[in-house]
Amino acid sequence: MNVHEYQAKQVLAGFGVAVPQGALAKTASEARREAESLGGDVWVVKAQIHAGGRGKAGGVRLCRSLDEVEQAVEDLIGSTLVTKQTGDSGKLVSKVWIEQGLNIAKEFYVSLLIDRQRECISFMLSPDGGMDIEKVAADTPERIMHIPVAAEVTRENSMQMASFLGLQGGQVESFSKLTTGLCKAFQAKDVSLLELNPLVLTAEGKLIALDAKMAFDDNALYRQEEMRALRDVDEEDALEAEAAAFGLNYISLDGSIGCMVNGAGLAMATMDIIQLKGEKPANFLDVGGGVTEETVTEGFRLLFGNEHLKAILVNIFGGIVRCDIIAQGLINAVSEGAMRVPVILRLVGTHEEDGKRLIHEAGINVRWAHDLDEAAEFAAAAVREAV
């Protein structure tokens, strides 16, 4: 689960991390009032969407008067922001965060992530903050440092990181407080990724988290009531959110062949072979082992509800999953509305004959495939015929 920048900053502030003073607004007049009470003469208006790269896309506006603040909010609210991270369709801006404009002397990159290789959490940092970190990693990998940490950040860890960033004097002490706070927040809130890009050193010598991204481990959300409350469903993929409510493992992709498969491995193989046939999968969907007629029906509803689909490929290798349950789910979903796109079925294993009989009896016009290769071939052909 991801949260907005302003929410991540509020969580971090609770762990002693210095963040700019700010306020949330949904209208221009509200923003003006908030800016006025924040005080100062420079403000930054920042679109709150679950994506980075806002600065380059015009989603972060520096304002030198209250009128400019109002204007910036006027422009941003209701607009669709397309950034490097949003995909082509962009994201609708429905709220902005207004904060004090800081006098930036330097921008750093600091993140904390789960380091699976070292089986611990690691800091990743760079003196080249505010930039695309993937680009820094590709062009100048020596400008990135990885510091694995044990249960807490040691003095040695902090000194090493501070010196890599070129911090001096009192800044080292504030940096140590910052890293300790980040590490505590990471563990206490079951965070899977925490990124400050940039962490800034102000002209006055203060270290402040200017941007913050936080992602939480979904499997730990059951014990993170406060973090769960930060969820913004409007920012999430509608189909994914609906699937999650039914316990389906569903990820939206941008192709045109909808997939319904049992088992993650088989689902990946199915997506691979679709690409091998020159087409693209529209989703990953693993119905899992413990499926019921209801969840399968919901799975098919999700697929039928995706207007970008040109074909559906059902690839079931029935072990624990029973083919007749899959068949019944398809029949239920079809009975609710038109089967808009061709459905290709590869259905083998447990209760295979029952499944096939149910579909024949229901009179649903599907295309049967004997194996995965043939199924993918049929699906790809259906897509080509559709255009």
Spatial separation of the C-alpha atoms in residues 53 and 129, rounded to whole Å: 13
Fill in the amino acid letter for 139: D
Binding site for ligand ADP (CB under 6 A): 20, 44, 46, 52-55, 60, 99, 101-102, 104, 107, 130, 197-198, 210-211
**The one catalytic residue among 5, 34, 107, 195:** 195
Please report how close the Cβ of residue 59 comes to Mg ion at its closest, in angstroms.
Answer: 10
CB 157 within 8 A of CB 119: no
Which residue number, 211 or 286, has a Cβ lying nearer to Mg ion? 211
Binding site for Mg ion (CB under 5 A): 197, 211
Burial of 209: CB neighbours in 10 Å, binned 0-12, 13-18, 19+: buried
Please report how close the Cβ of residue 2 comes to ligand ADP at its closest, in angstroms.
Answer: 13
Q: Tokens standing for 112?
A: 């904390």
**The one catalytic residue among 5, 107, 109, 298:** 109
Fill in the amino acid letter for 79: S
CB 98 within 8 A of CB 45: yes
> What does 60 interact with, of Mg ion, ligand ADP, none (CB < 5 to 8 A by kind)?
ligand ADP
Q: Is 195 a catalytic residue?
A: yes
Spatial separation of the C-alpha atoms in residues 281 and 311, rounded to whole Å: 10
Spatial separation of the C-alpha atoms in residues 232 and 126, rounded to whole Å: 30
Which residue number, 199 or 326, has a Cβ lying nearer to ligand ADP? 199
Residue with tokens 């024949």: 360
Q: Count CA atoms closer than 13 A to 146's CA, side-chain side.
A: 12
Q: Is 109 a catalytic residue?
A: yes
Please report how close the Cβ of residue 292 comes to Mg ion at its closest, in angstroms.
Answer: 43
> What does 334 interact with, of Mg ion, ligand ADP, none (CB < 5 to 8 A by kind)?
none
Residue at shortest CB range from Mg ion: 211
> What does 165 interact with, of Mg ion, ligand ADP, none (CB < 5 to 8 A by kind)?
none
Which residue number, 94 or 292, has a Cβ lying nearer to ligand ADP? 94
> What does 102 interact with, of Mg ion, ligand ADP, none (CB < 5 to 8 A by kind)?
ligand ADP
What residues contact residue 149 under an 8 Å CB cut-off, 6+ apart?
Answer: 120, 121, 122, 123, 157, 183
Residue with tokens 């972060």: 60
Residues in the chain: 387
> What does 47 interact with, of ligand ADP, Mg ion, none (CB < 5 to 8 A by kind)?
none
Which residue number, 128 or 211, has a Cβ lying nearer to ligand ADP? 211
Which residue number, 200 or 326, has a Cβ lying nearer to ligand ADP? 200
Which residues have a catalytic role annotated? 109, 195
